[in-house]
Amino acid sequence: MVVILLGPPGVGKGTQAVRLADSVGWEHVSTGDLLRAARRAGTELGRKAQAFMDAGELVPDSLILDLVRDHLKGIPPEAGILLDGFPRTTAQAEGLDGVLEAVGRRVDQVVVFEAPDEELIRRLSGRRSCPECGAVFNVHFTPPKQEGICDRCGAALVHRADDKAETVENRLKVYAAQTEPLIEWYGRSEAAVVAVSAEAPVDDVQREFRKAVGH
Ligand code: AP5
């Protein structure tokens, strides 16, 4: 099964994907995480992506498609896949169809997470991320046991540079202009499109998400 998690920045795609992947053993593929890892490793891709990410703009489609193509190659053909933060444009969606078709697969389901902008802004202003293991916390909702320290690996938590108010505003605009149209695009495809309200606490959203994907 190939499932796309679609939704604006801060809606909880990563939080929900990690929980489901951990519990059912599916592969979680987050292009944001892959790009941040490339930046930390100082690769050419990381250097090229940096300015786009810091400005809250999308990284060019060609770079993203190469990254995803390479990453998907390493996933066994029978594994369930949760795509988080990809695709974000119709060009990426078309590219993904080609990559999946080559291995006899297709997008089975698109889950659209929804929450009002005020809630997204609150979540992103409180988000603290672990640069080492990728764990995500929130000073308002799910604080770490020790302030500023990752519960999972003990590294110092960071407030992502692109979670600053002015960048968040741009990311929301970019989502509305370039990614939201994918909901209609997938509505015309064979994939099932299901909306899940992401306003409730994390466990409640997870329950709805699991119902939507039949787990
Ligand atoms: P990316 O990392 O993908 O960012 P995003 O899509 O903007 O999503 P976020 O990671 O900000 O939010 P999320 O929905 O995963 O929320 P989370 O679970 O963390 O992309 C970053 C950048 O990389 C892009 O701007 C772009 O430049 C580039 N990029 C990435 N992919 C690309 C692509 N395909 N094409 C081109 N460019 C690309 O939750 C947020 C916070 O809320 C957390 O603190 C969490 O603890 C909390 N929270 C979650 N759920 C709840 C809840 N139910 N109740 C209360 N708090 C909650």
The structure's pTM equals: 0.96
Verify whether ligand 1 is closer than 6 Å to residue 134 (CB atom): no
- C-beta separation of 30 from 15 below 8 A: no
- Structure letter (DSSP) for residue 149: B
- Please give the distance, rounded to the nearest whole angstrom, from the Cα atom of residue 84 to the centre of ligand 1: 9
Mean pLDDT of all residues in 186-208: 97
123 carries an active-site annotation: no
From the candidates 19, 39, 123, 127, which is the catalytic residue? 127
3-state secondary structure of 78: coil
Mutate which of 123, 137, 152 for ligand 1? The one with the most ligand atoms within 8 Å of its CB, which is 123
Residue 108 phi/psi, 5-degree rounding, is: -90, -35
Selecting among 36, 88, 123, 128, the annotated active-site residue is 88
Q: Count of CB atoms within 10 A of residue 85's CB?
A: 22
Residue ranges and CATH numbers for the domains of the chain are 2-213 (3.40.50.300)
- Check pocket membership of 15 for ligand 1, CB cut-off 6 A: yes
Q: What share of the chain is helix, strand, coil (3-state, %, to 5)?
A: 50, 15, 35
CA distances from 61 to 53, 92, 162, 187 (A): 13, 6, 19, 22
What per-residue confidence (pLDDT) applies to 12? 97
Region 138-145 average pLDDT: 94
Percent of the chain residues topping a pLDDT of 90: 93
Structure tokens at 104: 């006899």
- pLDDT for the residue numbered 9: 98
**28 near 190, Cβ under 8 Å?**
no
- The arithmetic mean of pLDDT across residues 21-33, rounded, is 95
39 catalytic per annotation: no
Pocket test for ligand 1, best of 11, 13, 15, 130 (most atoms within 8 A of CB): 15
Q: Is the pLDDT of residue 135 over 90?
A: no
Are the beta carbons of 152 and 135 closer than 8 angstroms? Answer: yes
Residue partners of 45: CB distance under 8 A and separation at least 6: 35, 38, 63, 66, 67
- Tell me how far apart the alpha carbons of residues 50 and 40 are, in angstroms, rounded to a whole number: 10
Distance 191 CA to ligand 1 centre (A): 23
